[in-house]
Every structure is written in structure tokens, then in C-alpha cells.
Structure 1
Amino acid sequence: MPPAAESAENRFSNTFLRLKKKLERGVGEAIADFNMIEDGDTVMVCVSGGKDSYSLLSILLALRERAPVNFRVVAMNLDQKQPGFPADVLPAWFESIGVEYRIITEDTYSIVKDKIPEGKTTCSLCSRLRRGIIYRVASEIGATKIALGHHREDMLETLFLNMFFGGKIKAMPPKLVSDDGNHVVIRPLAYCTENDIARFARAMEYPIIPCNLCGSQENAQRKQIKAMLAGWARDYPGRIESLATALQNVVPSHLADQRLFDFQGLTRHSQVAEGDTAFDPPELPRAPANIVRITPLDGVQD
């Protein structure tokens, strides 16, 4: 069977349809939980040419067909004039799926290469330049929401980057307001795993465009964190899921930030939701009923 025909068949297989449904359900839950998209919104989806943003756009378009609210989707790509960037790929793909789109050309690549010494991480400056352009374009098209393709692992990686290198317990929020208060940024893939997105993207055969800036920096701190999380996922099943759940279960009284909890005003009469449970022993599973435990008599050694 020719590769194209085989891929088309895979996109209609039960395995793929279950994966598609899982991702759509995850995106739908995130949108509902954080009120990401409302009736009448114009959602500008930033598409870089990577697997995550391609998948995000496809899933939002699919959900729009049966959503209880009406919203407009506009795909936006920033051509940063990286050498060898295939400028025709994304316009052709946008045309093929019939989505409204904008291609913005700004030579941020030259600025980054000029300002950042060879071998140093370019991500910080590159992201700041991109952010400014994205906000400008969102204003020009009247976008009420800006959708980014960050997924669950991106959020956890950012948490550990800030803890290890920034001294903050801070991750990527599913929804935020820009510093100037003019834009709302949403991350509808917040509940989706990178592995599921990668599988979905392979089946969809998106025309992936590699990044020649951040994508080429093998020693970047984020790649180290990514490797750490991948190791945990491999060696300790369930740990990544627990970490993701922890992002939604913060207990300020058991941290040390005086801005979030009044430690100075805490007395023995204070009512605290969690109490001193931080010092309680962990709950262990109860032994099965058919197992009899024998306690040694006094003075008798095991």
C-alpha cells in the first residue's frame, strides 16, 4: 500500500479515532474549566509549523463545528526569516483546510543572531520579540483570545525551570492577561500530553517545519528539564500525572510565601483548612482480609 494511502487509512482506524476523541475531550474540558472561549470570540491561533500548534488548530476547528457557542478562528504564522524557512508550506496548508489566516513577515532572526552571542540561549529574546508582534497582530484583526499550543509537559517544564533557575514556584497558566491588559492568552492543550499530540500529528502528516533557533540548542536548560521528566515518566509511572494534578492543588498554608498566607497572624486559635496534615503519616493501603498478622510475644525474637 502506498504511504499516503496507508496514512489515510490510519486516520480512520479505531486507534486514531480514540486518540482524536481523547484530545478533543481534553481541549474541551480545559476550555470549559477556565472559560477560555466565549460566544462571539475571535480566536487567533498561533501556528509555528510544529506538531503542537498544528494539532491545536485542527482540534479547535473540529470543536467549533459542534460547540454551543459561535467563535471565529484565524490562524496566524510569524515568518521570522530564518534561513531555509519554507515560506510556501503554511499558506498552502491553510488554504487546503479552508481556514482564515494571516502570514506576518518580520526579520526577528537577524536581531536575535546579532544580539545573542554564539552558543548562548536565544529563547528569551526570541520569545519577547514574537510576543510583541503577536499582540500587535491580534489587535489589528480584532482577536479577543490568542491561542498558543503549549501542552501539559510544557507547563511542567516551565514549573521546574522557574524552581531550579528562577527561585519561583511558577508555571505556564492555562489562561492569562497580557501585561498591558489588552489581550487574553489561552492554552487549550493544557490537559493534553505531548506523547498523544505527537502520535496525532504523525497520523495527520502535518508538514512540520523545524526551528533553527531554539530547536537547535541541545544544551538549553529546558531540554535538560524535558529529559528529567521523560526519565521520571519512564521509571515512575504516574509521577507526571501527579505533578500535573498538583498544579491545581496548591496549599498556601503549607508553603512559605507570606503574601499568600498570614503566617505572622497565625495563632493556635486560627482556622486553617489543611491543619497540620503535613506532619501526619501517609495513608497506607489496608491489608487484605485474608492475611493474618502475627505479633511476636514479649521477649520472643522474630
Structure 2
Amino acid sequence: MNLKNLEKRLTYLAANAIRDYRMIEDGDRIMVCLSGGKDSYGLLEVLRLLQARAPVRFELIAVNLDQKQPGWPEHVLPEYLDNLGVSFRILEQDTYSVVKRVLPEGKTMCSLCSRLRRGALYSAAAEMGVTKIALGHHRDDLIETLFLNMFYSAKLGTMPPKLRSKDGRHVVIRPLAYVPEKYLQRYADLREFPIIPCNLCGSQANLKRAEIKRMIQAWDAEDPKRLNMILRSMQNVRLSHLADTDQFDFESLRGKVASDMPDPVTGEQDPFVGLVKPLEEEPAL
């Protein structure tokens, strides 16, 4: 796929996600979080392409958080953004030292680093008066997170295409939610983005996310339609066909009560009280 066709595909997928989740509205002031990786570069360029042709007006401000990692090339992003003519701001916060001090050697740093980075970006967003915070997570990130949560946290959830922060002050959007990672890699290669590798967490070996990534890449190689089917399944959730009693009222689903059994609706004791034992772990085979 050449550059022109690839950009058409990227903007088509991003525009669909933006439309489906009403990510961008007229007059939005959008913070584009730029890390120096292929995904955030791709996000900025796709939004710039859409900005030129969108039926609504919105402003883009690229923001990078300099976490004071050793060897971080401070000049790369400012020079790149200056050449593009994009408004930008570089934040400086030594989260690197915090992470290295708090976590023992060999411990996965991604979670703590992400929380610190998110806090810094949210504070800057409030100060700058932005209405949306755009992140570069793509389709494969959403799918990887789904399986990470299932396999290692026993919960069913992922990164939503659009969300409100816990404090209610910010709206986060992921315009690349429909975009396969391989498209962004191809785009980065064709555009020759000045990629800055992460030396904090991205270089750690044997991360669980890397294991999941290998799994879904194998699935993609086996059947190119499979990952899109997984994405579509996240958009077609049937709570009554899962098993979460907090999300669906299973208790109200009652059959006909036998004549010789106390009716639970009348307030009499449920005939199963005392008979149900806590679920135990399955014995080892």
C-alpha cells in the first residue's frame, strides 16, 4: 500500500471511529499526546489530515511529557513540530526517578509510569483549557488490553474509544480505535517519523502485554478477519449472556415455583439457603 492509499485508509477508519463515538465536536481544543512513538506520530498526522477536511472546526495542540529519562533527545520533538507548524508544549516532570525509586529492579514499570504520566497530562489539560485529550491507542491495543484483563485480572474490559476521567474533568478520545497496528507501522516507515524509543518500560523483557501481542499477531496471520471480529464483539455486548450479577438482574429471572416448595417471592426462606457452598478452586489434574 503506497502512502496516498494508506492515508486514505487511515483517515477513513479514524473518521468512522470519531463519528461512531462523537469524539470531536465543533470548537474542540484537542490535546494530542505525543510520546515519540509511531502511534502518536500517526495520530497527530491523521488528525491534521482530518482537520483540513472535517465539517467541524477544531484546534490541535501537541503535548509531550519529558519524563527525564537518561539519554532522552530533547531536541527531536520540538524540531519536528516546528517544521510542521503545529502548536505544541513540552511538559517536564521527572517521573523516571520516581518510578525507579519506588519499584524494585525487574518489576514491570508500565502501570506506575502510566499513572504518573496521566496525572501530569490531566493537570496540563486543565491549565490549557483543552476540551479533549487524544491518545494514540489503536485497534490492537484495545484487543491486547481485553485479553490482558481476562487472563491476568479476571475482568472483562478494555480501553474504551471515549471516556470521561474519574474526576469528571476530562474527556479522553482514541481516534485510532479502528486502525490496525500494522497500518501505523507501515505509515511510520513511509513517513520516516523520528521515532524515539522508550528506555523505561518499552525495553523490559517478558512483559505480559508482549505475550498477548504475540498471540494476536499469530491469530492475525492465521485469519486476517479475526481481530476485526474481536473488535466488533466489543461493540456487541449482551450482558444477559455473560455472568456478572452486578450488571444484569439474574435474580429476577424466575421459573414456575413447584407447589411443594416455599415461594421465594412471598418472603419465605429460599429453599437453597444453606445448601450453596462457596466455589472452590478446581482440583489439580
Measured against the shorter chain, the TM-score band is 0.7 to 0.9
Q: How does 1:66-105 map to 2 (within 5 A)?
A: 66-105=53-92
1:252 and 2:244 matched:
no
Task: Pick one of 146, 159, 162 that aligns with 1:175.
Answer: 162
Moved >6 Å (runs of 4+): none
Unaligned runs of 5+ residues in structure 2 are 257-285
Q: How does 1:253-268 map to 2 (within 5 A)?
A: 253-267=240-254
Structure-1 residue corresponding to 2:98 = 111
- CA distance in 2 between partners of 1:28 and 1:105 (Å): 32
- 1:231 Cα offset (Å): 1.2
Structure-1 residue corresponding to 2:7 = 20
Unaligned runs of 5+ residues in structure 1 are 1-13, 270-302
- CA distance in 1 between partners of 2:224 and 2:89 (Å): 42
- CA distance in 1 between partners of 2:225 and 2:136 (Å): 24
- 1:240 corresponds to which letter in structure 2? L
- 1:97 corresponds to which letter in structure 2? L
Structure-2 residue corresponding to 1:129 = 116
- 1:253 Cα offset (Å): 1.0
Structure-1 residue corresponding to 2:174 = 187
- Could you list the per-position Cα deviations for residues 40-85 of structure 1 after superposition, in whole angstroms to 9, with x for gaps in the alignment? 1100000000000001001101111111111110000001011111
Structure-2 residue corresponding to 1:201 = 188
- 1:260 Cα offset (Å): 2.1
- CA distance in 2 between partners of 1:208 and 1:223 (Å): 19
Percent identity reads: 56
- 1:212 corresponds to which letter in structure 2? N
- 1:29 Cα offset (Å): 0.7
**Bigger mean CA deviation after superposition, 192-201 or 238-247:** 238-247
- 1:60 corresponds to which letter in structure 2? L
Between the two proteins, the alignment pairs up a number of residues equal to: 256
- 1:268 Cα offset (Å): 5.6
- 1:267 Cα offset (Å): 3.7
Structure-2 residue corresponding to 1:283 = none
Structure-1 residue corresponding to 2:139 = 152
- CA distance in 1 between partners of 2:139 and 2:227 (Å): 9
Secondary structure at 2:141's aligned position in 1? helix
Instruction: Quickly say closer, same or farther: Cα 1:26–1:237, change in 2 above 3 A.
Output: closer
- Could you list the per-position Cα deviations for residues 114-167 of structure 1 after superposition, in whole angstroms to 9, with x for gaps in the alignment? 111111100011001001000000011100000000000000010011111111
- 1:218 Cα offset (Å): 1.9
Secondary structure at 1:188's aligned position in 2? coil
1:229 and 2:216 matched:
yes
Structure-2 residue corresponding to 1:297 = none
- CA distance in 2 between partners of 1:78 and 1:244 (Å): 30
- 2:14 corresponds to which letter in structure 1? V
Structure-2 residue corresponding to 1:53 = 40
Secondary structure at 2:2's aligned position in 1? helix
- CA distance in 1 between partners of 2:182 and 2:208 (Å): 21
**Bigger mean CA deviation after superposition, 252-261 or 56-65:** 252-261
Compute the TM-score of the two structures, normalised by the length of structure 1.
Answer: 0.83
Structure-2 residue corresponding to 1:165 = 152
Structure-1 residue corresponding to 2:201 = 214
- 1:16 corresponds to which letter in structure 2? L
Task: Pick one of 22, 25, 32 that aligns with 1:35.
Answer: 22
Structure-1 residue corresponding to 2:226 = 239
Structure-1 residue corresponding to 2:275 = none
- 2:229 corresponds to which letter in structure 1? S
Secondary structure at 2:90's aligned position in 1? strand
**Bigger mean CA deviation after superposition, 23-32 or 235-244:** 235-244
- 1:236 Cα offset (Å): 3.3
- CA distance in 2 between partners of 1:63 and 1:75 (Å): 15
Secondary structure at 1:215's aligned position in 2? coil
- Could you list the per-position Cα deviations for residues 152-206 of structure 1 after superposition, in whole angstroms to 9, with x for gaps in the alignment? 0000010011111111100110000001000000000000000001101110110
- 1:175 corresponds to which letter in structure 2? K
